[in-house]
Structure 1
Amino acid sequence: MGERLAEEVLLVTRRWPEVQKISFVAHSLGGLVARYAIGRLYDDSSKLERVGSTRNCFNEEKTEYSKQCLKQSYEAKIAGLEPMNFITFATPHLGSRGNKQLPLLCGLPFLERRASQTAHLVAGRSGKHLFLMDSDGGKPPLLLRMVDDSDDLKFMSALHAFKRRVAYANANYDQMVGWRTSSIRRQHELPKSNLIVNDEKYPHIVYVEGDNTSGIYNTESSNVGGQTAELEEKMIRGLTKVSWERVDVSFQTSKQRYVAHSTIQVKTYWLNSDGADVVYHMIDNFHL
């Protein structure tokens, strides 16, 4: 899916060559697809820039800028465009394998183990990717590879190129994506209830964590056990090499709380309209 999205973006840029900037807004699995696509679309081609004044740099005899007045700079682009916002809503950035990362399973270990073994029967290759069960050609799971750069896919360089990265996460009632995985946090890093505040303009935005990279220096591991904990920790450390804004959402007082996974992006207005303030929050903070 990531390859198809990358191809579609390139088609759009060719059709409208006047476009100069690009942003991604993605929901759920779409956030992972977008992360893959930008890794494919990343370009840091160099360009020459003039240094100094025109009088000092212009060579009258050769009618050209002298080499001393030119410097080489690198400008990161996504599909040839200036990257601005990378925003995800309820995206399982750390996959669905860890404890309570798929809340529908109620945190029961035997159900979570069974889900890891059978996810591909329901969701195909995407299921394997989400539960870190893929090993194409003996390679590490795709989600683990996506927290670093490789020769042809610059996943982290692409994320770093954006002016801002934002993760909107449901703090509760999302049966499909857990709070940790959608907000890229360890369990002990989740906001405590006494820190949660309400905003009259955005009543379902309960906590906003500003742009920071504190996760880089936090070495305490997630307490979810065994190999899964190690994989999750690697992904957190990789993804927090760049700064993220985290916006926590709660529909606890809403009649639409049991469909929070869709309400956070107002998938269907008559069923998910309570999430409108979350969408407005995204729009009001969008960088143009």
Structure 2
Amino acid sequence: MGDKRYKNHLVILQHGFHATSQDFNIFINYFSKQSQLDNCLFIAAKNNDYFLATHEGIDKIGERLFKEVKEIYKENQQCEYISFIGHSLGGLIVRYAIGLLYIDGFFENCCKPINFISLTSPHVGSRRPTTTLYNKLLLFGANNFLSITGKQLILTDSHILIINDENVEEKEEKEKEEENTLPLLVYLSEGIFLKGLKSFKNCSLYSNIYNDLQVSFCTSDINVINPYRLTFNNIKFSKKYRHIIENNSEDNYNNSNNNNNINNEIIENHFKHDTHHELLKRIIINLNQIKFKRYHMYFNSILSHTNVIVRREWLNSEGYDILIHILDHFENSKSLSSYN
């Protein structure tokens, strides 16, 4: 693996809702054995491991990750580059921390940002159309039993976010007019959070097209429709990565919507029955300013959500080809002849 002093690329992994850093044990063990990544230092963030930590709100969790990254860097100041891998809610937690690191000058003065990799993360939240009793029950549960984080994911929270060049101050709405507040996920799609994400050399989204009980395709892919609903029987899979859907993109893997053109009419028609229509539209349009690489996956299993990180060897080993795909598409500082 090489001496620690030769590791110049810090890779931070953030777990999701009701999870812990140990969920990345197999992931890190696999990546740490790859000779092409022997300059990378893989660390699973631990400050949000305690019971119900992920209930306290993406902002609070993200702030803890921000502080943890700075502490990790103090112990590894030989690192010149940094990448983030977020699973599930971890993708949003990472995005919040990235905004704080951006205004803190971390990317300018400490580590240059290379990879942002999101693995089945609810970037547009977890709202569902209230057209069925099942969806209504899910929204009720998120709003009443998943604490602050649940409200944030369905955009029923109300915040004032004061942003300047030195800090970010978030307050619960109390005396301010309601029209001056926004759900946190809206703030997370613009301003310093969007600028911070834009600074990464490579931004990738991995999304399950079906069978992901925790995170639906559209919110993970930052899209408004699932293109596989009518074409599922005709999809082709990569020969090398048997759960990655193949397409005619430049690298022969599905990279749908790489041009990031959003059809406003489709957005209008899709969200017209949702009371949060304008907010959802705003989030999607904002985030699609990023030139994401999109990779679509399919597992014939309800374990899809945890297969993508091979959370448990005996239960999720089917997902090893996803680890191989991430490895093959991981931008490493060793291969960068220059960085601007």
What TM bracket, shorter-length normalisation?
0.7 to 0.9
Quick check: 180-189 or 14-23, which moved more? 180-189
Superposed, which structure 2 residues align to 1:157-236 within 5 Å? 157-187=195-225, 192-193=231-232, 196-207=235-246, 208-209=254-255, 212-216=258-262, 219-221=265-267, 223-224=270-271, 225-236=273-284
Measured in 2, the distance between the counterparts of 1:228 and 1:78 equals 36
Equivalent of 1:243 in 291, 310, 335: 291
Equivalent of 2:314 in 267, 270, 279: 270
Q: Which residue of 1 aligns with 2:81?
A: 21
Unpaired runs of at least 5, structure 2 = 1-60, 160-172, 247-253, 333-340
Tell me the amino acid that sits aligned with residue 329 of structure 2: N
1:156 counterpart SS class: helix
User: Could you tell me whether the CA contact under 8 Å between 1:38 and 1:78 is conserved in 2?
Assistant: no
Measured in 2, the distance between the counterparts of 1:79 and 1:261 equals 36
Q: Which residue of 2 aligns with 1:119?
A: 142
Q: In the comparison of the two structures, how many residue pairs are matched?
A: 243
1:13-57 Cα shifts (integer Å, max 9, x gaps): 111111000000110000010010001100486xxxxxxxxxxxx
Equivalent of 1:259 in 299, 303, 310: 303
**Is residue 2:182 matched to residue 1:140?**
yes
Measured in 2, the distance between the counterparts of 1:249 and 1:140 equals 33
User: Could you tell me whether the CA contact under 8 Å between 2:114 and 2:331 is conserved in 1?
Assistant: yes
Measured in 2, the distance between the counterparts of 1:126 and 1:273 equals 30
Measured in 2, the distance between the counterparts of 1:3 and 1:234 equals 24
TM score, norm. by length of structure 1: 0.77
1:97 counterpart SS class: coil
Tell me the amino acid that sits aligned with residue 169 of structure 1: S
1:191-215 Cα shifts (integer Å, max 9, x gaps): 8436622112100001411683423
Measured in 1, the distance between the counterparts of 2:122 and 2:102 equals 22
Measured in 1, the distance between the counterparts of 2:69 and 2:299 equals 33
Q: 1:109 deviation in Å? A: 2.6
Return the index of the structure with the highest Cα Rg: 1
User: Could you tell me whether the CA contact under 8 Å between 2:209 and 2:297 is conserved in 1?
Assistant: yes
Measured in 1, the distance between the counterparts of 2:270 and 2:228 equals 13
Measured in 2, the distance between the counterparts of 1:183 and 1:160 equals 17
TM score, norm. by length of structure 2: 0.66
Measured in 2, the distance between the counterparts of 1:273 and 1:284 equals 18
User: Could you tell me whether the CA contact under 8 Å between 1:206 and 1:250 is conserved in 2?
Assistant: yes
Q: Which residue of 1 aligns with 2:119?
A: 89
Q: 1:148 deviation in Å? A: 0.7
Quick check: 203-212 or 176-185, which moved more? 203-212
Measured in 1, the distance between the counterparts of 2:98 and 2:307 equals 26
Tell me the amino acid that sits aligned with residue 16 of structure 1: N
1:124-174 Cα shifts (integer Å, max 9, x gaps): 11111111110032421001111110xxxx100011000111110011111
Equivalent of 1:156 in 184, 194, 197: 194
1:237–1:78 distance in 2 versus 1, CA, 3 Å: farther
Q: Which residue of 2 aligns with 1:6?
A: 66
Aligned residues: CA RMSD: 2.3
